[in-house]
Amino acid sequence: MVYRSEGAPDAPYFTPVQSPPAGTATAEHPPTLFSPLKIRDVTFQNRIWVAPMCTYSADKGHLTDFHLVHLGAYAYRGASLTIVEATSVTPNGRISPEDSGLWEDSQIAPLKRIADFLHSQNQKLGIQLAHAGRKASTLAPWMSKERGKAIIATEEAGGWPGNVWGASPIKWGENWAEPKEMTIADIKEVVNGFRDSAIRSVKAGVDVIEIHGAHGYLVSSFLSPISNRRTDKYGGSFENRIRILVEIIEAVRAVIPSGMPLLVRVSATEWMDKTAPESWDVESTIKLAKLLPALGVDLLDVSSGGNNEKQAVAMFSEYQISIAGQIRAALLAEGITNLLIGAVGMITEAEAAKEIVEAGKNVEKADTIEISDEQGAIAKADIVLVARQFLREPEWVLRVAHNLGVPVAWPKQYQRAPFPKGSKI
């Protein structure tokens, strides 16, 4: 009998088949955090996703080998979905000149290379489609010595400060470009940009698409009555302010496969409810969330803030997770069970997860969340999205499993180096 290592199917080079994929629980009855979840035609082996993280390292919108290594490191170590950073649908929708883009066909190939690698490891790739709006044309954050202070990218630095778009001509803050109020034609161009970028995403082999409607970028600025002072059909009432997002969702859903999950990220509150007579708040997000399933959205990714420099964020370890739980509870109270909720923010540890979700103790001191109640009585979310902790620990999924005592599959090449039994990693 001849023994031969089986290679991954359809890979253009040899790499051993990873079956089951890394991050899959190998014992029966794992906690929900390590239970599979199917969304439309896509099955995720656990509930831990890599959130989009801007790296300001693209070349004229094209992803590079840096992104292949950066994203691949999380995926083959067990994250069930790795989402590419905010990827602009138009050239002027980038945050910085070095942002990822998908506004032209030449940008498909480097994205496809990443998708092909992840698929060779039996893992899934998502992409976050975005437009930066009035927060566009800035330099990478490491160019500023003051944290949170933007530096405008001038034409000499590859920027476009004279072509920054916004819902209204209201600057985000002192050190930001003066935005132009978008015309109806501009809005149509952006909606078509999301549509065309979604088509390119499908051609590249992406498994999941997320629409970025958070953090003060274009869609977020339309949602807020503070940054949206328009008097046409895209401003004023709640229905008018969400119109651009609805049009984007409809345009994207129409061109992607019916079995592909579609996500939307929002800032559930802009943290201005105590300082402004009207703002985008949790109740606004709940109202929006109730409309999303009928539009073909499968998951609401709950973040917050970023739309106003005067925001007053009530910071504690579960400051965003508790909002996700509030939204999920409101949906379930009305019998809406076909919109999943993703929680993000300050998720770093796993050990206290069971106590938090089962006993409800020490909520303000908790560092993580586990989703264990499929009926919604306790669970605050269906998925956790983790960002900075993966920068610190690319193997975070494996460490969480180890610390929770959950046996999971490792990459075959790494199986000889498990965490030592009884060790606290």
By annotation, the residues acting in catalysis are: 217
Buried b (16+ CB within 10 A) or exposed e, 249-263: bebbbeebeeebbbb
Distance of alpha carbon 146 from alpha carbon 299, whole angstroms = 35
How many C-beta neighbours within 10 Å does residue 55 have?
19
57 secondary structure, DSSP code: -
How many C-beta neighbours within 10 Å does residue 338 have?
11
CB 69 within 8 A of CB 196: no
What are the structure tokens assigned to 285, written together?
A: 């997000």
Pick from 205, 288, 281, 198: nearest CA to 243: 288
CB 225 within 8 A of CB 278: yes
Q: Taking the alpha carbons of 160, 166, 169, 173 in that order, is the dihedral positive or negative?
A: negative
Helix (H, G, I), strand (E, B), or coil: what is residue 403? helix
Pick from 253, 270, 250: nearest CA to 262: 253
Pairing type for strands 37-39 and 42-44 reads antiparallel
CB 228 within 8 A of CB 222: yes
Distance of alpha carbon 230 from alpha carbon 243, whole angstroms = 12
Pick from 284, 245, 248: nearest CA to 268: 284
